[in-house]
Structure 1
Amino acid sequence: MKRQMRKWVALLIMPLLLLTTLGSAPAYADTKLGIHVDGAILIDAESGKILYEENANKPLGIASMTKMMTEYLLFEAIEEGTITWDQEYKVNDYTYSISQDRRLSNVPLREDGTYTIRELYEALAIYSANGATIAIAESIAGTETEFLKLMNKKAKKLGLVDYKFVNATGLNNGDLQGMHPQGTGPEDENVMPAKSVAKLAYHLLKDYPEVLETTKISTKIFREGTTDKITMKNWNFMLPGFVYEYEGVDGLKTGTTDFAGHNFTGTATRDGKRVISVVMKAVDAKGEGSYKARFDATRALFDYGFGQFSEVEFVPAGYQFKDSKTLDVVKGKEKTVAVEVKEPISMMVKTSEKDLYVPELVIDESKIKENALQAPIKKGEVVGYVNLVKTEGTDYGFIDSDNPGAEIVTKDAVEKAGWFSLTMSAIGDFFANIWNGATGFVKGLFN
């Protein structure tokens, strides 16, 4: 009888346990988006605020996302006047051989041909053409081997971490027909964590936003009007008119190799907000990599960013902290100076969490001597910055770890006091110290 009772109790309790388990599912879905990737990240393109990340610090193969670094160095060289858009490149044995390999993404280059830098760049940005990419690297640095040095130097300057560049294209070195850059292995491949890839994309868009004028082109004829013409269809199938079209997408770079899998650095804008996403080694629910898998994962990140985040102004320009409206000043005609926030502080945050952020004043310690600012002080002098601190829950920070908040500046100028005033002040301080010491001694006698 007791056994039967226990059996009936178990049968009654089991559905309740199932309901409890089902009810807890949304908490997990809120933190993980259910995408199938080895690494992913989503950031606000304006501030660099990280909105989501998943295994974003693990170095992984980046394939043709490498070409974003090649693009950055190209725009920089154009800006510095090292090369020009109209400059012509003469095809050599290396670039000819690679460009003829149609197993790879390529526009075939004539063995005796010459091409402008602009033509080669469009082939790189739209069609991920590998021969054209090597031609650009050689135009900038002389050889791809020398170009690698520029890539590594720029990566260090941008603050990328855990990266390894072995060529300018992102191909496996085994595809370079034995002509891979000196000092690299025959089967080496470029690697980088998702966070560094996003940081590279962030700086590319910040410094050279004109790249989007080309990456948004869905189809273009290479060498139109000649016998060499070839139709270049963009590998970014989220652009308008393609099968995985997504509103607002205008870049940035796909990447696929056997080692790296299916990768994509995407960017889209909607309602004045731009986000950058990175997905690495994307697969479907069955564990199979595909173009669809990488675009599905990107779509999930975009939907999350545009759907759950909004731009919020936390502090207006001219804001003063209640308990820190002024800072002490020494050796000045004034004893204090008022300080305020220079620019309004806005940040893309999860709409449901906007009340969890509070502004925090951070004074630049290098400006402080003798526990005060030193006169003379200029109006608008930067004396610190504001951090937005999340009071609970995870905050991923910014893609640039040293990214400070809005600047704190002085509202007025404070001139340095004259010699006589400084002398009298020093005498006053001297006798004040003596008096304080004496009264302290007397008080001690009666304690």
Structure 2
Amino acid sequence: MKVIPMRLRKVMIALVAVSMVVMGLGSAAYAKGEKTPNSLGMDIASAILIDADSGQVLYEVNSSKPYPPASMTKLMTEYIVLEEISAKRLNWDTVVTTSKEAASTPPDGSQIYLAEGDQHSVKDLYIAMAVGSANDATIALASHISGSEQGFVGKMNETAKGLGLTSANFTSATGLLDTTLISAADMAKLAQNIIKKHPDFLDYSKIPQYKFRERDEKPMINYNWMLESNKSIPALKQYAYPGVDGMKTGYISAAGYTFTGTAKQGDIRLISVVMNANSKGARFYETAKLYNFGYNTFERKTVLAPKSVVETAKTAKVKKGKKKTVPIVTESDLSLLVKKGVAPKIDLVGTKLLPESELVAPIKAGDKVGTVTYKYTDADTKQSLERTVNLIAAKDVQKAGWFRLMFRSIGDFFAGLFQGIVDLF
């Protein structure tokens, strides 16, 4: 047997060690089949539950680590389409001609079998994307907006940056590529932006089934089996959950089964994300654990009533008014999700009033004069949440007449002169 010299053996060991480190770095972003222990007993790699209204994190498991989102990627595509419609660069009736790129979508995923040159409305393609997760419909919309899917990918990453999704790296409009990465926390943040800026999104995400063409034999069935509307369907009622009306499922082998969902019960809307569940059904069972925890544990409480007086900012200075100051109050209430039976405590972080140069009479009751920020800290998790509320004028302040303003200026002049003399001694 050939004996390997000691020096060469050390070199070989070192090379093996280096290669293992490199391989470890290469898989640092995600690991297929990875699971993370958690107190809810969810069999997932990553998860998060937030309050849709405030973004307050109610529960999280490894939520900052990026994973491939699979078809949940389409939430960004759907968001951009809604932004284009809001900006009037698109409308629901705009006719989209199917590009060669869209018609060449690989047949191994969800699609509606578009042919090059087919023409369909933005609305039909959007529903195909939202309900049936159709990859070809998604690319048709992407290439219509940006000329090509890759051109659209640039827009996706630019939009992600604008929304503060720091973990997001989009490489396709559909999620078919496992090089697209995003954390559960950022996916929940994207979902929150969609719901708050475009609540009509839910009108499409909750459609249980949709027939794309009259000649189609069967309608598309929404991949979101948790929809409350499925409670009367024998095959799906085991997954249906009260209040669920969105949002997006996903699957590729590298990502496992993923789901971003939302449910509303009473005055509480929750947003959830689970990544790397074991099966189509498992992702909904794991999500139900999050919703059960959220609705059983938390309630919405008003911690600051509307029209409240802030002790550190009771008035604001007004220029050229009959009165030099105006009493101010909070414009709206401040409500939080807190654990049931717990009295929440908030701390005043600071107030910011508009400069006097911007508060020029006449001032009307209800005019914004500044903001006040409070911080709430969960006693158990120690997580903090800051909320900012507008401060408004509580009364009208009429503009002073020229005579009053003249004498006020004279008074101010002599007051300043007197103070200057005092400062000399």
Regarding TM over 0.5, the answer is: yes
| Structure 1 residue 67 displacement after superposition | 0.5
Residue in 2 that maps onto 1:238: 226
Match of 1:277 in 2: 272
* Residue matched to 2:392: 409
**129-138 or 332-341, which deviates more:** 332-341
1:257 maps to 2:287:
no
> Which string of whole-angstrom CA distances, capped at 9 and with x for unpartnered residues, describes residues 62-81 of structure 1?
11111011111112223333
Instruction: Tell me the TM-score normalised to structure 1 length.
Output: 0.75
Residues 353 and 369 of structure 2 are in contact (CA less than 8 Å); yes or no, is this contact kept in structure 1? no
| Greater Cα offset, 147-156 or 81-90 | 81-90
In the TM superposition, what is the alpha-carbon distance from 1:297 to its structure 2 partner? 1.8
Q: Residues 136 and 89 from structure 1, CA distance in 2 versus in 1: closer, same or farther, beyond 3 angstroms? A: same
Alpha-carbon separation, structure 1, partners of 2:378 and 2:265: 29
Query: 1:93 and 1:421, CA in 2 relative to 1: closer, same or farther beyond 3 A?
Result: closer
Match for residue 54 of structure 1 among 38, 44, 61: 61
The share of aligned pairs that are identical, in percent, is 35
Residue 45 of structure 1: how far off its partner (Å): 1.6
Structure 2 unaligned runs (5+)?
1-37
Q: Which runs of 5 or more structure 1 residues have no equivalent in the other structure?
A: 1-30, 173-187, 283-288, 439-447
Q: Secondary structure at the match of 1:190?
A: coil
Distance change >3 Å, CA 98–CA 378, structure 1 → 2: same
For residues 119 and 362 of structure 1, what CA distance do their matches in structure 2 show? 48
CA distance in 2, matches of 1:32, 1:377: 57
**How many residue pairs end up in the alignment?**
375
Shift of 1:269: 1.1
8 Å CA contact 1:43, 1:275 repeated in 2: yes
Decide whether the 8 Å contact of 1:63 with 1:189 is kept in 2.
no
Q: In the TM superposition, what is the alpha-carbon distance from 1:348 to its structure 2 partner?
A: 2.2
Q: CA deviation at 1:359?
A: 5.1
Letter matched to residue 208 of structure 1 = H
- The one-letter code of the counterpart of 2:101 is Y
User: What is the match of residue 95 of structure 1?
Assistant: 102
Residue 71 of structure 1 aligns with which residue? 78
- Cα deviation 1:294-343 (Å, max 9, x = unaligned): 21221111111111111111222211134643356788764543221111
What is the CA-CA distance between 1:96 and the residue it aligns to? Answer: 2.4
Question: What letter matches 1:251 in structure 2?
Answer: G
Change (3 A) 1:62 1:42: same
Structure 1, 322-331 or 311-320: larger mean CA deviation: 322-331
Higher mean C-alpha displacement, 150-159 vs 358-367: 358-367
> Which residue matches 1:381?
368
Q: Which residue of 1 aligns with 2:212?
A: 222
Q: What is the Cα deviation at residue 90 of structure 1?
A: 3.4
Amino acid at match of 1:159: G
What aligned pairs does 1:268-347 form with structure 2 within 5 A after superposition? Answer: 268-282=263-277, 289-322=278-311, 324-327=313-316, 334=323, 336-347=325-336
C-alpha separation in 2, matches of 1:429 and 1:331: 18
CA shift in 2, pair 1:116/1:347, >3 Å = same
| Structure 2 counterpart of 1:364 | 352
1:182 aligns to what?
A: none
Structure 1: how far apart are the matches of 2:282 and 2:163?
Answer: 30
Q: Is the 8 A contact 1:125 1:214 kept in 2?
A: yes
Structure 2 Cα separation of the partners of residues 47 and 256 of structure 1: 29
In 2 relative to 1, CA 118–318 (structure 1 residues): closer, same or farther, beyond 3 Å? closer
Alignment partners' CA distance in 2, 1:322 and 1:364: 13
Amino acid at match of 1:343: S
Determine helix, strand or coil for the equivalent of 2:211.
strand
Q: Which has the larger radius of gyration?
A: 1
Tell me if 1:156 matches 2:141.
Answer: no
**After alignment, is 236-245 or 385-394 more displaced?**
385-394
Distance across 2 between alignment mates of 1:85 and 1:323? 49
Q: Deviations over 1:198-219 (max 9, x none)?
A: 1111111112222212211222
- Judged with a 3 Å threshold, the aligned counterparts in structure 2 of structure 1 residues 326 and 115 are, in CA distance, closer, same or farther, namely closer
| Partner residue in 1 for 2:147 | 142
**Aligned-pair CA distance for 1:171:** 0.4
Question: What's the TM-score once normalised by structure 2's chain length?
Answer: 0.79
Q: Note the aligned Cα RMSD (angstroms).
A: 2.8
Deviates more, 1:200-209 or 1:212-221: 212-221
Instruction: Please tell me the residue identity of whatever aligns with 1:69.
Output: M
Specify the alignment match of 1:131 in structure 2: 136
